[in-house]
Structure 1
Amino acid sequence: MMTVHEVSKLAGVSIRTLQYYDKIGLLHPTGYTDAGYRLYDDTDLERLQHILLFRELEFPLKDIKAIINSPDFDRGKALEQQIGLLKLKKEHIENLMNFALGIKMLGVRHMDFKVFDRSKLDEYSRQAKELYGNTLEYKKLQEKTKNRTKEEDNLLADRFMLLFREAGEIRNTDPASPEAQSIVRRIQDFITENLYTCSDEILSGLGKMYSGGGDFTKNIDEYGGEGTAEFVDKAIQIYCEKNEEVE
């Protein structure tokens, strides 16, 4: 048996939270000490584990209570479901991180249209390092760019934008055409070769960002002509959907 103080320390949950769980009928202690302190056994701790896992998955307390108190509640099945949901959450977070990293690093710094204020670029770079300094993608990016000069960065940006200019020349054609799909593949290859591994998920997110309005859309359209950003996004989504079908 463990006291409420011991459980609080073990689980990283405040004593007040454990008291509240008891109050609302979510987690009752098995017993009490002579002094009136709550005592928890292994079954209580197992129940607390499920509660905390559901909380990590952002389930409301009233829903957790209904699930755990259900006569059909199966701890084994619940754990399998929690693992599955946590995997989806992990994948979702990783996709968001990669998408944000693409915005920070590719969409701003490396798509240098020479119209952004330099101080903003430096700030984006600083924020990206703080947010993603420990990620594999950021480390790959740092490794590939550590010896580049600003002139080399600008040259790469110009080379990259030539792909959008090329896309602009065929923006009134079918985005599913071999020509359009070839440009998309070269965009993905360029990012992977010069920045970090550009998965289809990242590429899809970047496409939506390019056509999403604001400076990105404006500057791509200035390079390729009005409608280029939207055309590239459509071509990217087709490209990614085809790859998904193949898988």
Structure 2
Amino acid sequence: MSDDVDPGLTVGQVAARLDVTVRALHHWDEIGLARPSLRTAGGYRLYTGADLERLHRVVVYRELGLGLDRIRDVLDDAGTDVTGALRAQRAQVDRRIERLQRLGTGLDRMIDAHERGLLLTAEQQAALFGPDWDPEWSARAREAYGDTPQWQAYAERSAARGPEEWQAVTETVTALERALGEAMDAGVEPGSAEAGRLVARHREVFSAAYFPLTRQMQVCLGRRFATDPEFAAHYDGIRPGLATWFHRAIDADARANGVDPATATWP
């Protein structure tokens, strides 16, 4: 490389040739890694062909990921095992590639989750959520709520879940709904301490499964449980009248905690 390079290249000329910054060249000079051999009468740095050859090697090794101290060893220490150093760097690159591949896979899942919600096939959804589950629910929810923080939080949870994780969510939700039905059968009154614990448990389960649920948001959901035909059919399918009972329990808990159900709104 040095055969066709005239001595006396300025810092700016070297920076342009090697596609590095002038600041980097000054730093390498200051730490003694790659110093210019010549100076002008005014004290300005000038690089010879041999200097440029060394700088070229610095740039190559730096692009391979070696630190500046390690580069100095490779260039100046005759006892340095250059091949070994490069093999070690190759191993680091392989690990970095593996991490980036995992990151890429995670990003793909996150993108899919934001676009689709559930990352499960229709068959997996039916197996997990029952034959009455509508696999188009997620698409409808995305269309209605896709630009909300709640959908974004739900998508982030969904991206991290496969069938086993969704199975655990389903079992937790089913256990809660069973407890609600048993409480109604036992005559638990909305507004009682036991009903309040169940309402709080619903918020916790919902927040972990889908997105953070405030009391005001829970009140809005409670209205839908009682008035929306699909929700009402679901809860009344567990116990006749459960949709209305749960709605009353949510409202009573809200009042006890300073939230007026009549004015509660979804964020």
- Greater C-alpha radius of gyration: 2
TM-score normalized by the length of structure 1 = 0.48
TM-score normalized by the length of structure 2 = 0.45
Higher relative contact order (CA 8 A, sep 6+): 1
